[in-house]
Amino acid sequence: MIDISCPICKSIESKQIRAGISSQLIKVDDFKITDSKYGQTGPLYRCKSCGFLFVVFKDDCAGYYTQMEDKEYEQGRVYRAVQQKILLKHLLKKFPETTTLLDVGAGTGMLVEEAQKTGLNPIGIELSSWCVDVAKTQGLPVIEGTIPHQDLAGRYFDAVTLIDVIEHVPDPIELLVSCAKHLQSGNPLVLVTPDVNSFTSRLLGKRWWHYRIAHMGYYSKQTISLALEKAGFTVVSIRRPAWYFQVQYLYERLKQYVPLPDLGKTSNVISRKIFPLIIPLNLRDSLEIIACKK
In this complex, which beta carbon is closest to Zn ion, that of residue 52 or of residue 218? 52
Residue 7: CB minimum distance to Zn ion, A: 8
Does residue number 40 form part of the binding site for Zn ion (CB under 5 A)? Answer: no
Does residue number 131 form part of the binding site for Zn ion (CB under 5 A)? Answer: no
The residue count for the chain: 294
Does residue number 180 form part of the binding site for Zn ion (CB under 5 A)? Answer: no
Does residue number 11 form part of the binding site for Zn ion (CB under 5 A)? Answer: yes
100-104/121-126 β-pairing: parallel
User: Applying CB under 5 A, which of residues 47, 112, 152, 180 lies at the interface with Zn ion?
Assistant: 47
User: Applying CB under 5 A, which of residues 31, 45, 52, 219 lies at the interface with Zn ion?
Assistant: 52
Residue 226: CB minimum distance to Zn ion, A: 8
Are residues 216 and 167 in contact, defined by beta-carbon separation less than 8 angstroms? yes
Does residue number 289 form part of the binding site for Zn ion (CB under 5 A)? Answer: no
What are the distances in angstroms from CA 131 to CA 1, 32, 81, 199? 35, 11, 15, 33
Distance of CA 17 to the CA centre of its chain: 23
Q: How far apart are CA 13 and CA 285, in angstroms?
A: 27
Does residue number 173 form part of the binding site for Zn ion (CB under 5 A)? Answer: no
In this complex, which beta carbon is closest to Zn ion, that of residue 14 or of residue 83? 14
In this complex, which beta carbon is closest to Zn ion, that of residue 50 or of residue 135? 50
In this complex, which beta carbon is closest to Zn ion, that of residue 7 or of residue 76? 7
Q: Which amino acid is at 46?
A: R
Interaction residues for Zn ion, span 137-156 (CB under 5 A): none
User: Applying CB under 5 A, which of residues 49, 100, 248, 271 lies at the interface with Zn ion?
Assistant: 49
| CA torsion angle 229 231 237 241 (round to 10) | -130
Residue 5: CB minimum distance to Zn ion, A: 8
Stretch of 6-14, 56-64, 190-198, 256-264 contacting Zn ion, by CB under 5 A = 6-14
Choose among 66, 79, 59: nearest CA to 28.
Answer: 66
Q: 3-class SS at 55? A: strand
User: Applying CB under 5 A, which of residues 26, 44, 50, 191 lies at the interface with Zn ion?
Assistant: 50
Does residue number 5 form part of the binding site for Zn ion (CB under 5 A)? Answer: no
Does residue number 9 form part of the binding site for Zn ion (CB under 5 A)? Answer: yes
Q: How far apart are CA 234 and CA 114, in angstroms?
A: 26
Residue 202: CB minimum distance to Zn ion, A: 20
Q: End-to-end CA distance of the chain, in Å?
A: 36
Does residue number 55 form part of the binding site for Zn ion (CB under 5 A)? Answer: no
Are residues 288 and 239 in contact, defined by beta-carbon separation less than 8 angstroms? yes
Residue 125: CB minimum distance to Zn ion, A: 28
Helix H or strand E encompassing 240: none
What DSSP character marks residue 64?
H
Query: Which spans of this chain sit near Zn ion (rule: CB under 5 A)?
Result: 6, 8-9, 11, 47, 49-50, 52
